[in-house]
Structure formats: structure tokens, C-alpha cells
């Protein structure tokens, strides 16, 4: 295979990051030039020794010092902190940056990578939620592609290939998470352990909790708005428990084109790295006969009202999507630390949005300052 692609993986030790490396392991043409992690230096060391990138960033400064000692025998440059992450994002030898860090920490590196003329394989949905109005025009200005890794957005992107740009509607599917069908009363005593059990996908902690509250689908609606230039009202969310139909596009003539497959993130990651080519994939063929039913139903937005909050924030735009995201990031952290209850996650988001006076067209510093203020005030209160 003569496929060659130099990539940087930001967040290489996470769920998306490790699966990206699995693909690179299979296709030697995908070369890892730079890697980054926050603090998991044990796994990062193993990855560094296997793939021999030229540059590695450890975001945590103290861990970076330890890491340098661990790999002193290798010819690898080690950088740290936020400046290190930006250096990795702009690493000259790379053509594409896979943004697989979690939360708003993906925003600045993505902007830096775009300015360094890298294509973006975008897993970090928070980037477009908070800064879509900055990132999308910037990508156009620098002539780089934003290729979706999020499975639903990859499915939509695949469904758009070879079709007219004008579409009628996007159908964004959601598994419904572990608490589908439950009432608010039944969710009162949910523990982090309960919420971390996702029925179909094995993902990082934050996105797993977000899937259970439907915040994840809310973030994805806003992500889709920016990626595909559609209005929020033209994005329909359907609960599809089997996670086989990964999302679809309805065209003007009512034709619905969808992408189907097993729930396996390696396909969307691989497609983002090989687009427009398709390379073979092992062990994940869809066997239709294993599924007795493929079901589709409307979400329960009374119990999982964060989805509606996201729609409103996405429609209003401005700083509200940042407020939605930042309050969720803070609330999920507190929930995982056992400091708030499960139902408080959505309550905190609701209050943060109600307490905010919107700013239209926020600058990057407005976004980062709002993120900091929202998180600080939520941590202070609990
Ligand atoms: P994980 O929590 O599994 O991994 C996050 C990665 O980012 C790790 O490498 C982690 O390092 C690093 N990291 C964490 N915090 C910071 C920080 N503040 N600065 C720099 N690096 C940091 O997350 P996922 O892989 O599940 O998700 C990554 C992104 O992809 C998210 O935005 C998520 O919404 C999106 N996504 C994920 C899917 C999935 O299947 N997992 C599906 C679709 C989208 P360390 O290991 O050292 O902590
Ligand atoms: Mg998704």
C-alpha cells in the first residue's frame, strides 16, 4: 500500500488516541510525528518507544520532567504545558492533527494547527461548540480540511459524498445511553459507576457521562451546525438503541442516505485519515442478521432536558454554547468526584445558561475567560 500520511495525535493516551494508534500500527504509511498526553506517562512512554515520534508533549509540567528522564535514551524532543501542546499542534512535519484531547482544551491547539496549515481530524467536539464561528472561517482562510471523527458526523460526512450540497435535514442518531426509558425520580441515586457503563461504546469518562445525560447529543447538534452549515431546527435527534445507523442525511427529494456499521470508532478515525480513500478494516463487519430490530424513537426531552438547553444555546449562538459546554465540564468533574448528584449535572447547566447575558460573536479571549469564570463559580458553589 502506497498510502502515506504524517500525523500528530493530541490526546494519544485516550480512547480515541489509542484507537488512532491502532490504525497507525496496521497501516505503516500513517506515521506518527508528534504525540501528546496530559499525565499518563506510562502509556505515553510505551507509545513513544513503539512509534518513535519526533516530538512528545506532556501537558502536566511535573509529569513532563519525569517523562524526560524515562525516555532520556531516545532522540525525542519533550515539551510541556499549554505552550508545548501548541508546539505539538503546529509540528512542521505533520500534515494532519488528530484532536483527541477532551474538553475546551482542544480549542487553542486546533486553531494553532489550522494556522500551521494542518488538516484537522476532529474528535474534540468542544472545539466547534465553543469556537465554531472562529474555527470554520479560519479553516477556509488557511485552506485546510476539518474531517469529522465523531461517529455521527463522520456518518453525515460520508452520506454527503457525491451528493448535492443542499440538504433538507440531518438525522442525528443517539444510543440513548444507559438510562434510556428512566424517569428523573429513578435517576436520583445514580452513581458515577452506573453512568460510566455505556451500552454500545467504550469511550473516555467525560463523553460517557455526557452520553448518559444526552448532553453529548446536545454538543453534537452544535458541532453538526458548524461542520455542515445547517440550522439547528434542521437537525433531528432520534434515539436508535442499536447504534448501527450512525446518522443520515435527508435530501430535497426525501431520499435518506445513511452510513451503517458496527459501533466501532476505528472506522470514522480511519476514514478521517484516509479520506477520500477507504482502506480495509478487520473484524468489524456488520451482520444484519444479528439485529432483530433497528428501532428509532424521539428522545425524552423532559427527563433529559439538557438536550433542549443545547438546542436553545446553539440557536442563540454567541457565548451560550460555551456556557453550556463549560458548565457541563465542571458539573461532570464534580459528579465524578462524588461532590454532586447525577441530576445536578443538568441543573447546573440550566442555571449557568439562565444566569448568562449573551455576547454575540465572542472573541477567543471572551470564550476562554467565560470558560474560566463559569468553572470557577461552579466549583466555588459546591
Ligand atoms: P479520553 O478521556 O479517553 O482521553 C483524553 C485524552 O486527552 C488523553 O490522552 C488525556 O491524557 C488528554 N487530556 C486530558 N485532559 C487534557 C488537558 N487538559 N490538556 C491536554 N490533554 C488532555 O477522551 P476520549 O478519547 O473519549 O475523547 C476525546 C475527545 O473525542 C472528546 O472531545 C470526546 O468528546 C471526543 N469523542 C470521543 C469518542 C470516543 O469514542 N471516545 C467518540 C466521539 C467523540 P491522559 O491520558 O494523560 O489523561
Ligand atoms: Mg458521537
Helix (H/G/I), strand (E/B), else coil: 217: helix
pLDDT at 189: 96
Say whether both 129 and 169 belong to one domain.
no
Q: Domain boundary residue among 288, 316, 344?
A: 316
Q: Is the CB of 16 under 6 A from ligand 1?
A: yes
* Residue among 16, 223, 330 to mutate when testing ligand 1 (max atoms within 8 A of CB): 16
- The predicted model gives 119-131 an average pLDDT of 98
Q: How far apart are CA 254 and CA 232, in angstroms?
A: 19
Question: For residue 54, which phi and psi values (nearest 5 degrees)?
Answer: -85, -25
Q: Which ligand is nearest to the CA of 81?
A: 1
CA of 245 to the centre of ligand 2 (A): 12
pLDDT at 282: 86
pLDDT at 347: 98
pLDDT at 360: 95
Task: For residue 85, give the ligand 1 atom closest to its CA.
Answer: 20
Q: How far apart are CA 316 and CA 108, in angstroms?
A: 23
Q: How far apart are CA 321 and CA 108, in angstroms?
A: 17
Q: Which of 87, 89, 96 is nearest to 10 (CA)?
A: 89
Q: How far apart are CA 10 and CA 111, in angstroms?
A: 13
Task: Give the angle subtended at the CA of 63 by the CAs of 197 and 57, to the nearest 5°.
Answer: 85
**Does residue 167 form part of some domain?**
yes
CA of 274 to the centre of ligand 2 (A): 20
Residue 178 CB-density burial (10 A; 0-12 exposed, 13-18 middle, 19+ buried): middle
The residues that bridge with 35 in the sheet, in sequence order, are 9, 56
Residue that has been written with the C-alpha cell 482562510 in this structure: 141
Q: Domain boundary residue among 148, 178, 212?
A: 148
**Does residue 18 form part of some domain?**
yes
Residue 193's CB is within 10 A of a number of other CB atoms, namely: 7
Q: Is the CB of 39 under 6 A from ligand 1?
A: yes
CA of 28 to the centre of ligand 1 (A): 24
In this structure, what C-alpha cell is assigned to residue 73? Answer: 535514551
Segment holding 147, helix H or strand E: strand 146-148
CA of 199 to the centre of ligand 1 (A): 19
Q: Is the CB of 11 under 6 A from ligand 1?
A: yes
Task: For residue 265, give the ligand 1 atom closest to its CA.
Answer: 40
Q: Is the CB of 101 under 6 A from ligand 1?
A: yes
Contact yes or no for 221/237 (Cβ under 8 A): yes
* DSSP one-letter code for 357: P
Question: For residue 265, which phi and psi values (nearest 5 degrees)?
Answer: -65, -15
Q: How far apart are CA 171 and CA 238, in angstroms?
A: 7
- Bridge pairing between strands 245-251 and 235-239: unpaired
- Kindly report the pTM of this predicted structure: 0.98
Say whether both 262 and 227 belong to one domain.
yes
Segment holding 119, helix H or strand E: strand 119-122
Res. 31 pLDDT band, cuts 50 70 90: very high
Say whether both 218 and 301 belong to one domain.
yes
Say whether both 131 and 168 belong to one domain.
no
Residues whose CB is less than 8 angstroms from the CB of residue 140 and which lie 6 or more positions away in sequence, other chains included: none
Say whether both 10 and 113 belong to one domain.
yes
Helix and strand counts by DSSP (H, E) for the chain: 15, 11
**Does residue 374 form part of some domain?**
no
Total of domains in the chain:
2
Q: Domain boundary residue among 301, 316, 331?
A: 316
Q: Which ligand is nearest to the CA of 214?
A: 2
**Does residue 344 form part of some domain?**
no
Q: In this structure, what CATH number is given to the domain that contains residue 77?
A: 3.40.50.720
**Does residue 340 form part of some domain?**
no
- Bridge pairing between strands 167-174 and 245-251: antiparallel
Say whether both 256 and 116 belong to one domain.
no
Helix (H/G/I), strand (E/B), else coil: 337: coil
- What are the pLDDT digits (tens) for 202-242? 899 999 999 999 999 999 999 999 999 999 999 999 999 99
Task: For residue 127, give the ligand 1 atom closest to its CA.
Answer: 32
* Residue among 43, 47, 67, 102 to mutate when testing ligand 1 (max atoms within 8 A of CB): 102
Which of residues 346 and 1 earns the better pLDDT score?
346
Query: Is residue 200 scored above 90 in pLDDT?
Result: no
Say whether both 121 and 65 belong to one domain.
yes
Say whether both 139 and 272 belong to one domain.
no
Residue numbers of the domain that contains 40: 5-148
Which amino acid residue places its CA nearest to atom 44 of ligand 1?
A: 150
Q: Which ligand is nearest to the CA of 80?
A: 1
Query: Is residue 331 scored above 90 in pLDDT?
Result: yes
Q: Which ligand is nearest to the CA of 39?
A: 1
- What are the pLDDT digits (tens) for 246-287? 999 999 999 999 999 999 999 999 999 999 999 999 888 999
* Residue among 9, 14, 106, 332 to mutate when testing ligand 1 (max atoms within 8 A of CB): 14
Say whether both 307 and 172 belong to one domain.
yes
**Does residue 332 form part of some domain?**
no
Say whether both 226 and 285 belong to one domain.
yes
- What are the pLDDT digits (tens) for 167-177? 999 999 999 99
Contact yes or no for 235/168 (Cβ under 8 A): no
* DSSP one-letter code for 289: G
CA of 98 to the centre of ligand 1 (A): 11
pLDDT > 70 in the chain, percent: 99
Helix (H/G/I), strand (E/B), else coil: 61: helix
Res. 201 pLDDT band, cuts 50 70 90: confident
Q: How far apart are CA 144 and CA 34, in angstroms?
A: 19
Say whether both 188 and 290 belong to one domain.
yes
**Does residue 203 form part of some domain?**
yes
- What are the pLDDT digits (tens) for 33-81? 999 999 999 999 999 999 999 999 999 999 999 999 999 999 999 999 9
Helix (H/G/I), strand (E/B), else coil: 346: helix
Task: For residue 202, give the ligand 1 atom closest to its CA.
Answer: 40
Query: Is residue 324 scored above 90 in pLDDT?
Result: yes
Q: Is the CB of 102 under 6 A from ligand 1?
A: yes
> What is the torsional sign of CA 40, 43, 45, 51?
negative
Q: Which ligand is nearest to the CA of 149?
A: 1
Say whether both 129 and 208 belong to one domain.
no
**Does residue 225 form part of some domain?**
yes
pLDDT at 228: 98
pLDDT at 139: 99
CA of 79 to the centre of ligand 2 (A): 30
- What are the pLDDT digits (tens) for 147-156? 999 999 999 9
pLDDT at 2: 59
Amino acid at each position: 500500500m502506497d498510502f502515506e500520511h504524517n500525523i500528530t495525535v493530541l490526546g494519544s493516551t485516550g480512547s480515541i488516541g489509542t484507537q488512532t494508534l491502532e490504525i497507525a500500527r496496521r497501516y505503516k504509511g500513517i506515521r506518527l510525528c508528534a504525540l501528546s498526553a496530559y499525565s499518563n506517562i506510562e502509556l505515553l512512554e510505551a507509545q513513544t518507544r513503539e512509534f518513535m515520534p519526533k516530538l512528545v508533549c506532556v501537558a502536566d509540567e511535573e509529569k513532563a520532567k519525569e517523562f524526560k528522564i524515562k525516555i532520556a535514551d531516545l532522540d525525542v524532543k519533550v515539551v510541556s504545558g499549554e505552550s508545548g501542546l501548541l508546539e505539538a499542534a503546529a509540528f512542521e512535519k505533520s500534515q494532519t492533527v488528530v484532536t483527541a484531547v477532551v474538553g475546551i482544551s482542544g480549542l487553542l491547539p486546533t486553531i494553532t494547527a489550522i494556522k500551521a496549515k494542518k488538516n484537522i481530524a476532529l474528535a474534540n467536539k468542544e472545539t466547534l461548540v465553543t469556537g465554531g464561528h472562529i474555527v470554520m472561517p479560519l479553516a477556509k482562510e488557511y485552506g485546510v480540511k476539518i474531517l469529522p471523527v465523531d461517529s455521527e458526523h463522520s456518518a453525515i460526512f460520508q452520506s454527503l459524498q457525491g451528493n448535492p450540497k443542499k440538504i433538507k435535514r440531518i438525522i442525528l442518531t443517539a444510543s440513548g445511553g444507559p438510562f434510556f426509558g428512566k424517569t428523573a425520580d429513578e435517576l436520583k441515586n445514580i452513581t458515577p459507576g452506573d453512568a460510566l457503563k455505556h451500552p454500545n461504546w467504550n469511550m473516555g469518562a467525560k463523553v460517557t457521562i455526557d452520553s448518559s445525560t444526552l448532553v453529548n447529543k446536545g454538543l453534537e447538534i452544535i458541532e453538526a451546525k458548524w461542520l455542515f452549515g445547517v440550522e439547528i431546527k434542521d437537525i433531528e435527534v432520534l434515539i436508535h438503541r442499536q447504534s448501527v445507523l450512525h446518522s443520515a442525511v435527508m435530501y430535497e427529494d426525501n431520499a435518506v442516505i445513511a452510513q451503517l456499521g458496527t459501533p466501532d470508532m476505528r472506522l470514522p478515525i480511519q476514514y478521517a485519515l484516509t479520506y477520500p480513500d477507504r482502506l480495509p478494516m478487520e473484524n468489524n463487519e456488520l451482520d444484519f442478521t444479528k439485529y432483530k430490530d433497528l428501532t428509532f424513537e424521539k428522545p425524552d426531552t423532559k427527563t433529559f432536558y439538557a438536550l433542549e438547553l443545547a438546542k436553545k444555546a446553539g440557536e442563540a449562538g454567541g457565548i451560550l454554547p460555551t456556557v453550556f459546554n463549560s458548565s457541563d465540564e465542571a458539573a461532570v468533574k464534580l459528579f465524578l468526584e462524588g461532590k454532586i448528584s447525577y441530576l445536578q449535572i443538568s441543573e447546573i447547566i440550566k442555571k449557568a445558561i439562565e444566569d448568562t447575558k449573551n455576547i454575540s460573536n465572542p472573541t477567543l479571549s471572551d470564550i476562554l475567560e467565560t470558560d474560566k469564570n463559569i468553572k470557577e463559580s461552579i466549583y466555588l458553589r459546591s
